[in-house]
Amino acid sequence: MYPQNNMSFMPAEDLLYAILADLKRTVGEYTTATTESNCSSVRQMFTDLTNDTLRAQGDLYRLMSQNNMYSITSKALRADVDKQIQEARKTQQECQQFIQQKSSSAGGYGQPMHQQGQPSHQHNPYYM
């Protein structure tokens, strides 16, 4: 049994690190589930779960950082970050062009990748 006093079974900082690590792992699993979903409603559910978990992870990280529980080893140079974003956008554009090309050559049987009215994540602080 656990002690009857106010002491928890582990220090709060260790517990927060464990929760943070679990949230990071969960985001990865939800992302995998999203990319492997064939049903649009299941895909949307996993997308929503991913976004909610990312928000929780970000909130916990900020809390830990504000309480000096999480230190950043080094900051990334803005130019390096911009270069990575540019490369990712180029890759995304190439993939979309490839998919459009293959969908067009499939005789009209291809399905569009994006549905109109989907929320944009460009202004979400948890996305790069």
Tokens representing 54? 């990312």
Angle between helices 40-66 and 12-36 (to 10 degrees): 160
Give 35-93 pLDDT, tens digit per residue.
999 999 999 999 999 999 999 999 999 999 898 887 766 777 889 899 999 999 999 99
Task: Say which amino acid occupies 51.
Answer: N
Task: Report the alpha-carbon distance of residue 14 to residue 19 in Å, rounded.
Answer: 9
Q: Structure pTM?
A: 0.56
- pLDDT number for residue 102: 85
What band does 128 get if pLDDT is binned at 50, 70 and 90?
very low
Residue 103 clears pLDDT 50, i.e. is over it: yes
How far, in Å, are 61, 62, 109 from residue 12 at the CA level?
Answer: 14, 15, 55
Give the percent of the chain with pLDDT over 70: 74
User: Do residues 46 and 30 make contact, with C-beta atoms less than 8 angstroms apart?
Assistant: yes
User: Do residues 34 and 43 make contact, with C-beta atoms less than 8 angstroms apart?
Assistant: yes
Task: Report the alpha-carbon distance of residue 68 to residue 62 in Å, rounded.
Answer: 10
Q: Which range has the worst mean pLDDT, 3-7, 13-17, 34-38, 59-63?
A: 3-7
